[in-house]
Amino acid sequence: MGTIDLRAAADENSVPDISSQVHQLPCCIRFDGPSQVSHYFKPTSSEVEIDGVRTEEAHFRGRKLQGATISLPSGYSGFVLGQASNRNANGKRKASSPEEEKPCWEAKAKFDRMTYWNHDTLPSKDDTFLRSFHWFSIAEALHKPVKAEDFVAVSHGEKDKM
């Protein structure tokens, strides 16, 4: 099992904030390398506003996309991870033990908002992508520690029903 090191992200200036460059596209791109995306993907603001959010429009490979920029829920942050370097300051490979051979990831960039895109349909609060954010509050409630007072309140409530 590897590790994820987010210490660099805690420092405001150590990793770039790419909030204006994070897009969730409704497609699969089978390419993993550098690309001049800004030359081909040029979103523009549209005059349409839905649920208080201004929509955007773009085209990707000839298909019209309509999207909206949203903030991540309070208390959450997004990170772009990359494998940590195994080289020291002199550029030489660090000596490692078999235990250190496990992959180590580190924050390369951070974001607090992103733009999600739909094919041909305007963004709405009913989009699957936005509805998935409801899971954060459900997960928080499920994993919240239970206090003794909670047990007492529930047990008294049960007795009142009998």
Domain 3-161 = CATH 2.40.128.680? yes
Average pLDDT, the chain: 84
Q: Are strands 104-111 and 3-5 parallel, antiparallel or unpaired?
A: parallel
What are the domain boundaries of the chain? Answer: 3-161
pLDDT of residue 41 exceeding 50, the answer is: yes
Per-residue pLDDT at 146: 84
What's the rounded Cα separation, in Å, for the pair 40 and 43? 10
d(CA 137, CA 68): 22
pLDDT of 121 above 50: yes
pTM for the predicted model, two decimal places? 0.73
pLDDT given at position 162: 45
Residues 4-23, mean pLDDT to the nearest whole number:
87
Inform me whether the pLDDT recorded for 129 exceeds 60: yes
Q: How far is the C-alpha of 29 from the C-alpha of 38, rounded, in Å?
A: 16
12-16, 60-64, 68-72: the lowest-pLDDT one: 12-16
**What local confidence, expressed as pLDDT, does residue 49 receive?**
87
Convert the pLDDT of each residue in 74-88 to its tens digit.
889 999 999 887 665
pLDDT band at 68 (very low <50, low <70, confident <90, very high): very high
pLDDT of residue 95: 60
List Cα–Cα distances, 154 to 68, 81, 151, 159, in angstroms. Answer: 42, 43, 5, 9
